[in-house]
Chains A and B, each alone.
Chain A
Amino acid sequence: MTRPDATDAFQKGFDTQLTRRILHYVRPYLPLVIGGVLLALLISLAAPVFALIQRHAIDTYLSPLALGTAPDRDVLRRGLTGAALLYMGLKVVEFALQYAFTLAIGYLGQNVLRDIRADVFGKLQRLPLAYFDQNPVGRLITRVTSDVDAINQFITGGLVSLIQSSFIIVVYVVIMLSVNWQLALISFTVLPVLFLATNYFRARLRDAFRETRTQQATVNSKLNENITGMLTVQLFGRERRSALDFNLSNRALLSANENSVKWFSLFMPVVAVLGQVAVALILYFAARQILGVDASGALAGAITVGTLFAFVQLSQQLFQPIQDLADVFNNLQAAMASSERIFGVLDTDESVKDRPDARTLTNFEGSVEFRKVWFAYDQTVTADTPDTDDRWILRGIDLDIRPGESVALVGATGAGKTSVTALVSRFYDVQRGSVNVDGIDVKDLAQHDLRRHVGVVLQDVFLFAGTIESNLTLNNPDIPHERVIEACRYVGVHDYILSLDRGYQTEVRERGATLSTGQKQLLAFARALIQNPDILLVLDEATANVDTETELRIQQALTRVMQGRTSIIIAHRLSTIEHCDRIVVMRRGRIVEQGSHHQLLEKGGYYARLHRLQYAQADAAD
């Protein structure tokens, strides 16, 4: 169910700037474009030939006998055979041209689609995390799906049919005029009406269709809500009221649907009747000319039965391009709105950027320093914002972590622990002070290098569609299978993986819904180990149900993973905290206590009280 995006307009007027940018994507495929245009031209030239062959056959071979001007039946038969064969041969040629044209346009559209998608996706990959915090995933998906599709529609459906239809119309008009200009003018009289009618109905249909979509969305969201909340409805005895309410929406949808059926049912017959009106006009005026009752009398007999038939055919064939042309405008409006949104993404400023002279590093010692770091997620907070502002998340953090040291961050929710870890990876830039790794400000490092050496272990391992193994290696084909197994053995998840249907090649379903919390956590450790970072950040939110055995296993795994690496751990489990070299207690964006487990216990501060509480709980659990 798609909900209308609040920021999404349905249509937008023509915009040269945007069109130029769209055309920019077409440029690499110029040969395809030129080929396509040439083919379109050839097709347009070929199209009226068939009616002319029919005209020729009727006038030259079929009518003379009846008119009593026949030379010889055999000659006529031979001519007829020739015409029929030519007709069939040309049909094959026309089909070949048409096929080539369709493929050329298909390739063009698909390639442009692919390029725009790649650009948007690539851009989204480079945008900082803050961008994802601000934009719902659903909206971003729309950018790489329906918005890109609308542009594709514009190129293949809009621009191409604009070119093709114009060619056909020009060719037909020229030919009809040259064959018989009076008859041509008469058959053209219907076309403006057709164009206007098509345009009018399309606009009505578009409105009606939009209304049905809105109503359908209402019905769907009510359905969804009622199904999800059905038990509440039942407990509160609201069934009848809900049914009445739903009935209102359901009826509104029915009315909207009936309305669009009404317009649509009118549209098709009107076009059909217009077609026959053109035929009738041609018939009457042709008869007039043939019968020689033209006032001037000069034209008597200038028109033939074959011409009449050809005009009937030609005028009908002109209908499609005229209707297509009326559609172009609609396609164009949708494409303008979509391309504006897409270019909006492409033009977004990447606030966290690599410096042009960014340093590349191949190896880290692993020391981390926070120098008087002030940080807020709110982008409007700057270095000059007063210290007292509520939006500051970190308020002057000073922290030195030696290579290989393990540090536990402890504190209440909102104390700023997660922000500290996010800054080491440079997911965000600090407003004041600096975060240094190996003595270099992270702003001076290439993001890619930095993050390759900083591993993040989230408690809920984010699983991608694919196999267990591809999730552990993160699709890096260079990581040998042995290393994966080694890591899994090390953290103690190897046996579990082997117990699955297809071992390491087991497909992960629905974000790993079948895996237990403990198993996910172990997989997260394995993933981090395989990526072999120099600095490890662990976010260990111990809120979930884990049995003692798994708890123990996670504990062991964590200790092993931490070995020889600089580690910053947000820990809730006492056992984890105790094993760290240093404990840093944070409150409201400041460091209030730090030291080893024993030092802090002796000090009798916040940490000591926290410890007492947790031990009481542990006792209670036994």
Chain B
Amino acid sequence: MDSFRTLIPYLRLHQRQYVIGLIAVVIANSFSLLPYYFIRLTIDGLTGQVDTDPATTGITLGTAGLYALGIVGAALTSGAFMLLMRRMIVIASRQTEYEIRRDLFAHLQGLDKPYYDRARTGDLMNRLTGDLSAVREMLGFGAWQIVNIVSGFVTAFAVMFSLSWQLTLIVLAIVPVIVGVLTYLARQINVRHRLAQEQNSLIAAKAQENFSGARVVKGYAIENREIDDYRAMNLELLRRNIALTKVDGPLRSFMSLLLGLAFGVILLVGGRLILAPDSTFTVGMFVQFVGTLERLTFPMLMVGWITGVTQRGLASWLRLKEIFDSQALVRDEPGRTDPTLRTMTGDVTFENVSLRYGDRTVLNGVNLHVPAGTFLGVTGPTGSGKTVLAQLLTRSMDPTAGRVLVDGQDVRVLPLRTLRDAISVVPQEPFLFSDTIANNIGFGLDNRDLPPVPTGVSVVGAPPPDDIPQQPDPARVREAARLAGLTEDVDGFPQGFDTSLGERGVTLSGGQRQRTAIARAIVREPRILILDDSLSAVDTETERRILDGLREISRGRTVILIAHRVSTLRHADQIVVLEEGRVTEQGSHDELLERGGHYAQLERLQRLASDLDADDEAPLDPEAAADRLETAPTPEQVTR
């Protein structure tokens, strides 16, 4: 129940709808009992039992007509309130679902890299879909059903009691039995349904792995064994489904059996009441009694389900709450963050920076100064900490020890917005969105002045959302694409820059993805530009063009370029070699060649590889050569 309390703020937003809806349930329930009252009056009138005096002469056709109209009127009223209820409560639950989803999305946007490193996308998706549905079901269907059950029982029993207390006592004895049996069945159905579902998933998984592993299955000629296996699993599914059918299938007829038995008992006892001398219990009353009891069929069925719906809903809400409760480590903090800092020149300093993940040291006392407007090249084997260096600068995470300074200010003092507006990163494996190429390039443009999506407020009465303003300036997008060497590719696409990427559009090659990411970075004209191994899938000729373009726009900007190819790095003002989280070599291209260290070796290998290229049309990728150098075991790996 404690978990329910945290849901209350969301319920408050729709207080009015829930209250009106729940009252409507009660009214609808009461009116739904009226038709049987009119049937009773008609029957009693027709059998001359208007009162105990047999001399009274029944009813006129006019009265009967009025009763008939009464039935229709009652049904219309009940139906109208039922409609009102659904439009209040069920819609409110849908709106709450929207609000929770909206707020979760906003919260997720505030979480940082450490959180996303731990969280699995599939798990988050499950919570945002399955768990959210379960919560919504509890709020909509659950809330309505609970009130429906309670008010249904109360009104029905009030009517039945007014008709005959003796019969009502019998019903009171029978109903708990029926509800008990149905609740038991509901639980059985739940259990067996889950078992069947599990087997179903197993079978789907079996098909999945069999199809993706077709090469192995065929390679070892085990098709027949696989088919047998699959058949056996299907047989088990059949068994489980039949087991489910045994409790699930006849539920409705079982209900009808139980009610039928109840009716038999009531016929026995009620009939005797009618036949008793000086009876005040009429045939019409009997019919009304039976009819009212029948109205309870659905509420009785639902008692068993409602506990399941509530339990699932509460458990799911707890899982959503977990997301809401997680906090970002990297964030602006009042007191530390200085909101007056708005601009930067791009002078970067790493001051004795170390980073540890658990007991693994990723960076170890790195000292580095990159004056504003200079070009830094970084190289080193995989896992040496190159990418992490870039991530510390953008504050994707904070260092364990030491400081990262921009313009002499600790990055933790700078507002995240200011810092990230001034820096553009081209990551190793760029993530592009399924949007147009223009929008992907203009990804970081014109985002500053957009209004936030308000959270924690009710959607009721909110105007429909406006279209999002400002498409990126086409001229800027084109220019950035030109500098990134992407124009020719884009012009070859069906809709040019308006071509969509991803499932419903074109699929870009690795090199095209990287160049799109470069355009996306440079279009923002950042003070600091970081290229993290972002030319690896681009051929040498294109690379040269891009580097020329970069030089053109990077005048006055700080550029940090992480790469493996010596040809990429050679023009840097300063080159740094990282090994095992330490700076092991530092200097210009010529200086490092003279030192004869890692960098010089890299240069020699790449020269050999390109010799091989020279007379071969299907060249060995020099990148692969560099990779192999990197993947050669380090002493640390060997001893591990």
Contact = CB atoms under 8 A, between A and B. Distances in A.
Contacts of A24: none
Nearest 3 pairs between A and B by C-beta?
A621-B632, A269-B79, A276-B75
Interface string B577-605: 00000000000000000000000010011
Contacts of A266: 83
A316 to B, nearest CB: 9
Interface in B4-39: 32, 35, 38-39
B94 A273 contact: no
A279 interface: yes
A111 B238 contact: yes
A602 interface: no
A401 to B, nearest CB: 18
A609 to B, nearest CB: 5
Interface stretch (B152-160, B359-367, B533-541, B616-624): B616-624
Contacts of B69: 280
A617 B632 contact: yes
A124 B218 CA distance: 11
B633 A280 contact: no
Contacts of B509: none
Contacts of A105: 249
A229 B87 contact: no
A620 B609 CA distance: 14
A253 B98 contact: yes
A107 B235 CA distance: 11
Could you tell me the dominant secondary structure of chain A's interface residues?
Answer: helix
A236 to B, nearest CB: 3
Interface string A230-268: 111111111111111111101101100110011011101
Contacts of B211: 124, 132, 137, 140-141
A348 B616 CA distance: 42
A111 B209 CA distance: 24
13 contacts: A63-B47, A106-B241, A110-B241, A121-B230, A144-B207, A232-B443, A235-B424, A236-B444, A246-B105, A247-B102, A254-B459, A280-B68, A450-B221
A374 to B, nearest CB: 19
A77 B276 CA distance: 10
Contacts, number: 438
B406 to A, nearest CB: 15
Contacts of B223: 125-126, 448
Given A66-B283, A227-B124, A548-B638, A305 B271 contact: no
B218 A129 contact: yes
A279 B214 contact: no
B241 A137 contact: no
A425 interface: yes
A375 to B, nearest CB: 17
A498 interface: no
A110 B238 contact: yes
A230 B125 contact: no
A30 interface: no
A458 B214 CA distance: 12
Interface residues of A, number: 158
A621 B431 contact: no
Interface in B101-136: 101-102, 105-106, 108-109, 111-113, 116, 121, 124-125, 128-129
Nearest to A149: B200
Contact of B417 (A228, A237, A273, A549): A237
A92 B94 contact: no
A98 interface: yes
B409 to A, nearest CB: 19
Contacts of B271: 57, 61-62, 77, 80, 84
Given A137-B211, A276-B74, A125 B249 contact: no
Interface stretch (A177-185, A281-289, A327-335, A363-371): A281-289
A129 B618 contact: no
Contacts of B261: 88, 91
A84 B264 contact: yes
Interface in A111-164: 111, 113-114, 117-118, 121-122, 124-126, 129, 132, 137, 140-141, 144-145
Interface string B258-280: 00110111011001101101000
Given A87-B260, A425-B218, A614-B628, 12 more contacts: A84-B265, A227-B125, A243-B452, A254-B94, A305-B283, A412-B619, A448-B224, A455-B219, A456-B216, A465-B206, A547-B640, A613-B609
Interface string A187-224: 00000000000000000000000000000000111011
B61 A293 contact: yes
B220 A456 contact: yes
Could you tell me the dominant secondary structure of chain B's interface residues?
Answer: helix
Given A141-B207, A451-B219, A620-B601, A228 B121 contact: yes
B139 to A, nearest CB: 13
Given A145-B204, A452-B221, A77 B632 contact: no
B468 A464 contact: no
A279 B39 contact: yes
B192 to A, nearest CB: 12
Interface string A285-315: 0111011010000000000010011001000
A616 B604 contact: yes
Nearest to A73: B275
Contacts of A165: none
Nearest to B72: A280
A324 to B, nearest CB: 12
Nearest to B79: A269
Contact of B79 (A224, A273, A543): A273
Interface in A75-89: 76-77, 80-81, 83-85, 87-88
Given A145-B207, A547-B633, A462 B246 contact: no
B465 A251 contact: yes
A513 interface: no
Contacts of B38: 283
A277 interface: yes
B464 interface: yes
A48 interface: no
Contact of B450 (A103, A240, A246, A456): A240
Interface in B621-636: 625, 627-629, 631-633
A88 B264 contact: yes
A462 B213 contact: yes
B98 A620 contact: no
Nearest to A152: B241
A275 B86 CA distance: 20
Contacts of A68: 54
B572 interface: no
B78 A272 contact: yes
A414 B618 contact: yes
Contacts of A447: 221
Contacts of B171: none
